[in-house]
Structure 1
Amino acid sequence: MAQHFPDQKLMARMSARMLLELGAIRFATDRPFMFTSGLASPVYVDCKRVISYPALRGTLLDFLLATIDRDIGRASFDVVAGGESAGIPFASWIAAKLSLPMVFVRKSPRGLGPQASIEGDLDPGARVLLIEDLTTDGASKLQFCKALRRAGAVVDDAVVLFFYNIYTDTQASLSRNGLRLHWLADWWAVLEAAREMGVFGQAELTDLEQFLHAPLEWSGEHGGATRIGTG
């Protein structure tokens, strides 16, 4: 019997609405947010807020599991990994739901050796699924992926709640490094949901749309970087 999964667009729309409802989407045009990559943005997503809302959190975790089942398959990995620090709770919940071991990856190694960035037991050759809260330009996902591979793991897929999906080279760069990205919602889903819900004014929505269509140009005009470096 064929297995049926929730509609991808419906999950994206509902995920975007939930992020808006719990206040995870922040807007600031007068003083743009500056990312560690140097990029400037009028909007910011704080997926860490999800951990404090159990009902919405449960639905989003169900959507993550449906995405894993539809796009990857549970038989494709043996271990779940979370990135320090925002990815750790989501990886922990997914690992618990799937009854699988979990590790987490540090941003900086502690000590020496190939597993200096890994906390938890990770056997060489283990197939690892990387779980994170979000990705902007993909750089941190590659950093975590490379750390896992140095430790002997096989890493082909990463799953995030939110993908910016506005920087043109992100997916190509991840693909060149052998990593497939899967996500629930992106900025286009948020823009649609924000219009439906009326949570931002028209001026803010116009600014957001201008940013989404030309994020690097917007960043440069507001004191940020004009290029990304995903490796």
Structure 2
Amino acid sequence: MKELYEILFLTKSIHIDTENPFTFSSGIKSPIYCDTRRLISYPKERKMIISGFLEKINDMGIESVIGVATGGISWGAWLSDKLDVPFGYVRSSHKDYGKKQSIEGNIDFSKNILVIEDVVSTGGSLGRAINLLKESSAKSLNACSIFSYQFSESIELFHKLDVPFQSLLTLEGLLEYESDKLGHNKKEIEIWKKNPGAWRSK
């Protein structure tokens, strides 16, 4: 597992700035940002990520894969190719032209579906995708991401949605396996992790 965390640093997907924090779409300020979109440009490393996914979902009996736009689309497509199952994706917003669909692809919603996201913070975009799939009569759903910040909001959300969620990599794992690379920033990240909403809120 350590090698997967090392990939994040090798591809410069981890950014740390305690003085000029990053702002998530939820409005939360953070001293650390995981940009998994960089991973798609590294063939060897992205194959390792896909192999990690395959190990994690090995016993789930996945019959279709849905990617969450935009970050989860490429990963979902690669994963569905390895599993040899149908692929589709959920748009980030409802389109106002053509067939005006939010879900693209020819998916049988009675099948066991895996929903893929790249990064999960509060879980908003993934939660929205899951709700859209449920509205389309999806019965059996599992969700997975490359990286999760493990916010309590996301844990509570997936519990409320009654959808099993797991992440290949987590902030807790990053702090454990790569503490040497985080250096003096580790302590500040740990403080932030305890209460992200209150960190630098003033």
Paired position in structure 1 for 2:69 = 84
Matches within 5 A, 1:63-212: 63-70=52-59, 73-74=60-61, 77-111=62-96, 116-165=101-150, 167-196=151-180, 199-202=181-184, 204-212=185-193
Q: Mark the runs of 5 or more structure 1 residues left unpaired by the alignment.
A: 1-10, 222-231
TM-score (norm 2): 0.91
User: Alignment length, in residue pairs?
Assistant: 201
Q: Which amino acid aligns with 2:41?
A: S
CA positional deviation for 1:115: 7.7
Q: Which amino acid aligns with 2:179?
A: R
Paired position in structure 2 for 1:220 = 201
Q: Percent identity?
A: 27
CA positional deviation for 1:152: 2.5
1:34 aligns with 2:23: yes
Q: Contact between 2:76 and 2:116, CA under 8 Å: does it hold in 1?
A: yes
Alpha-carbon distance between aligned partners in 2 of 1:43 and 1:212, rounded to the nearest angstrom: 10
Q: Mark the runs of 5 or more structure 2 residues left unpaired by the alignment.
A: none
Q: Which amino acid aligns with 2:177?
A: A
CA positional deviation for 1:124: 4.3
Alpha-carbon distance between aligned partners in 2 of 1:214 and 1:132, rounded to the nearest angstrom: 23
Which protein, 1 or 2, shows the higher relative CO under an 8 Å CA cutoff with sep ≥ 6? 1
Q: Deviations over 1:66-98 (max 9, x none)?
A: 00015xx12xx3210001111001000100000
CA positional deviation for 1:30: 1.7
Q: Contact between 2:123 and 2:153, CA under 8 Å: does it hold in 1?
A: no
Alpha-carbon distance between aligned partners in 2 of 1:94 and 1:158, rounded to the nearest angstrom: 13
Q: Contact between 2:149 and 2:170, CA under 8 Å: does it hold in 1?
A: yes
Q: Contact between 1:47 and 1:133, CA under 8 Å: does it hold in 2?
A: yes
Match of 1:56 among 45, 51, 74: 45
Aligned to 2:129, the other structure's residue is in SS state helix
Alpha-carbon distance between aligned partners in 1 of 2:127 and 2:153, rounded to the nearest angstrom: 13
CA positional deviation for 1:42: 0.9
Q: Contact between 1:115 and 1:150, CA under 8 Å: does it hold in 2?
A: no
RMSD: 2.0
Aligned to 1:30, the other structure's residue is in SS state coil
CA positional deviation for 1:219: 4.9
Alpha-carbon distance between aligned partners in 2 of 1:209 and 1:200, rounded to the nearest angstrom: 11
Alpha-carbon distance between aligned partners in 2 of 1:133 and 1:23, rounded to the nearest angstrom: 16
Q: Contact between 1:78 and 1:127, CA under 8 Å: does it hold in 2?
A: yes
